[in-house]
Structure 1
Amino acid sequence: MGDADIALRHLARRHPEDLVRALVPEGPIEVLGWLDSQVTNLERRLDKALRLRVGGEPRVLHVEFCFALRGDVPDRIFEYLGFLFAALRLEAPGEPVPPIESVAVVLSGRRRRLPNAGKRRIAWPGRPFSGARFRIDAVYQRTVSELRARGSVLWLVFAPLARNATAAALREVVAEIHASARTAEERAELYTALLVMATIDPWRHNLLKELIMMVEDEEEGLLRRTPIIGEMIIEAERRGEERGERRGEERGERRGEERGERRGEERGEERGEEKAIAALLGRLFARRIGRRPTAEEERSIVERARAIGPGEVEDALLDLEAEALVRWLAEPIRPS
């Protein structure tokens, strides 16, 4: 899922209480934190699971952000739960493993309502159920009001996915993020995630360009001053101008133009999404190392994200010590 997964995992790590408040209706709830690095030997991305106490009892919540509820999602969740269960056993030998629940947060897909739950059955036909069950939170099928009612800036970034998203509604969301974010850096991260969600556009609202202008108006150039994100905005604006010129010049060839325009938009969106990935990973690098990546390091981050996946690069940025991270970026890329 690339840049969307990175943006959402990053924000979720910053706002775990807000994530849990919407996904766990029971209470009282105490958030103990994300699973730490000592349980990542079996599966490097176990940081998608949160330790909780619900009604005083230990629980684990696994959250999977999914671009769509494709056929491999139940397989991935089942596989992940196996790694998670084994890691928790290794962490506390002889102790009971806390109950685990999985939630798939789905960002796009069919118009018809998705079910509230899914499962991966592994039992023989006709035998009692054996496998994994998980809840489904299809955020793209919710309304802007429903997302705002969850009461945090974390869920506001999903507003461009809402089935009733409009320019007017998103303008209110942008203003709410501006008022609620604690720092300029947090606002930039929230706005970046908001723009990434707008590129998914499951309902074809086509609000990305308007959303960029809203953010720029509200923040007086904040995103343009953010390295690489500013380039993404300029690229989006350039594509819009080029499309307008082509429509004026080629009105007589409407069908061919529309096909070419779609292909151009897809290629442009891919370039913009790649820049968003580089920006998010670059900020993570800066937090770990204490400085912005050099041009060569930034190039290595992007190339590695393309070769082995942005999630793997993010894991390396979180797991490796400073000197080891710099050495890793300087090494030749070995595709996995």
Structure 2
Amino acid sequence: MGDADITLRHLARRRPEDLVRALVPEGRRIEVLGWVDSQVTNIERRLDKALRLRVDGEPRVLHVEFCFALRDDVPDRLFEYLGFLFAALRLEGPGEPVPPIESVAVVLSGRSRRLPATGQRRTAWPGRPFSGTHFRVDAVYQRTVGELRARGSVLWLVFTPLARNATAAALKEVVAEIHAGATTVEERAELYTALLVMATIDPWGHNLLKELIIMVEDKEEGLLRRTPIIGEMIIEAERRGEQRGELRGELRGELRGEQRGEQRGELRGEERGKQQAIAELLGRLFARRLGRRPTAEEERSILERARAIGPCEVEDALLDLEGEALVRWLAEPIRPS
């Protein structure tokens, strides 16, 4: 899913409690113990999609997968991941029972007809009793703005542009809630970036991206221009000579996602913005891990590796490797996967 995936995973790591509380039945006592981090990550490095919990005092594991759409390969991916996760948990506690695991596919777009509440990957022979796995489906794009706001967290507010009843008036209130609910300027920038990335998906054809950009710019006074993925899009639109007065008056820059028929210049501009946004997110993660910002050489290595092996793989390495091991990895020649 590119930008959407890395942005949402980054926010989920910031606010795991908010992620969990919306996906665990109401009324349960929940304690978040942390993300699964296991030696099996050398085989499957994305086990940070799973959280260790205690629900009513009992150990549980919650696996969350963000999906652009509920495509045919999603059940296969969830089943495969579940196997790696089960193996990781079993190796960590030899002789101990593996905690019950629940998988949830958070779906961002798809058909207008209501998606099922559960999905499955069947592995049994035809005509035999079921074996395989079931997973829950949380089709956030089929929910209303009110339902997403009722989840009680700025994390879930970023999904409101996907809602079937999203309007400019409703999103103006959402922007104000994010402004009030974010704890730092940095977090606000990340939340607004996710909000606008969700608006580019636009599963219902609301076409609210331009208005949403104006709302955020009005509220934050230039924050968008300092946010790489959005600022680059605005700058590129201006370079193309498109007439644009004050952002609050009129935004004529065609700030769309990658669509067929866009000119090469537009694609290059958006790609530069996306790459800078990815580098910024990964740079912040590096800083949290090592307690300092990456050097210019390290920043260059992070971006080159994101291009060569994918931003999610680089994010996984930043989470897996410690201290000097991470510094050495960034200094090594890049080996495409």
Scaled to the shorter chain, the TM-score interval is 0.7 to 0.9
Partner amino acid for 2:261? G
SS at structure 2 position matched to 1:93: coil
CA distance in 1, matches of 2:158, 2:236: 22
Greater shift, 7-16 or 258-267, is seen at 258-267
CA distance in 2, matches of 1:198, 1:262: 21
2:147 corresponds to 1:146 = yes
Change (3 A) 1:144 1:240: farther
CA distance in 2, matches of 1:56, 1:147: 27
User: Which residue is 1:78 aligned to?
Assistant: 79
2:284 corresponds to 1:283 = yes
CA offset digits 1:99-144 (Å, max 9, x no partner): 1110000111122211111111111111111111100001111111
Change (3 A) 1:265 1:231: closer
Kept in 1: contact 2:79–2:121 (CA 8 A): yes
TM-score, scaled relative to structure 1:
0.87
User: Which residue is 1:198 aligned to?
Assistant: 199
RMSD of equivalent CA atoms? 2.6
CA distance in 2, matches of 1:286, 1:239: 35
User: Which residue is 2:67 aligned to?
Assistant: 66
Kept in 2: contact 1:305–1:313 (CA 8 A): yes
Kept in 2: contact 1:236–1:272 (CA 8 A): no
User: Which residue is 1:306 aligned to?
Assistant: 307
CA offset digits 1:244-298 (Å, max 9, x no partner): xxxxxxxxxxxxxx96348876665544433332221122122223443344433
Change (3 A) 1:92 1:182: same
SS at structure 1 position matched to 2:325: helix
CA distance in 2, matches of 1:167, 1:97: 47
Higher helix share: 1
Aligned pairs for 1:1-336 (under 5 A) are 1-26=1-26, 27-38=28-39, 40-226=41-227, 230-235=231-236, 241=242, 260-261=261-262, 269-336=270-337
Kept in 1: contact 2:233–2:269 (CA 8 A): no
Kept in 1: contact 2:168–2:211 (CA 8 A): yes
Where does the alignment leave 5 or more consecutive residues of structure 1 unmatched? 244-257
User: Which residue is 1:246 aligned to?
Assistant: none
SS at structure 2 position matched to 1:51: strand
Kept in 1: contact 2:61–2:99 (CA 8 A): yes
Greater shift, 20-29 or 218-227, is seen at 218-227
SS at structure 2 position matched to 1:333: coil
Greater relative contact order (Cα < 8 A, sep 6+)? 1
Greater shift, 217-226 or 85-94, is seen at 217-226
Change (3 A) 1:259 1:94: closer
Change (3 A) 1:32 1:159: same
Kept in 1: contact 2:236–2:266 (CA 8 A): no
Change (3 A) 1:273 1:69: farther
CA distance in 2, matches of 1:234, 1:37: 43
TM-score, scaled relative to structure 2:
0.87
Q: Would you say how many aligned residue pairs link Structure 1 and Structure 2? A: 323
SS at structure 2 position matched to 1:154: helix
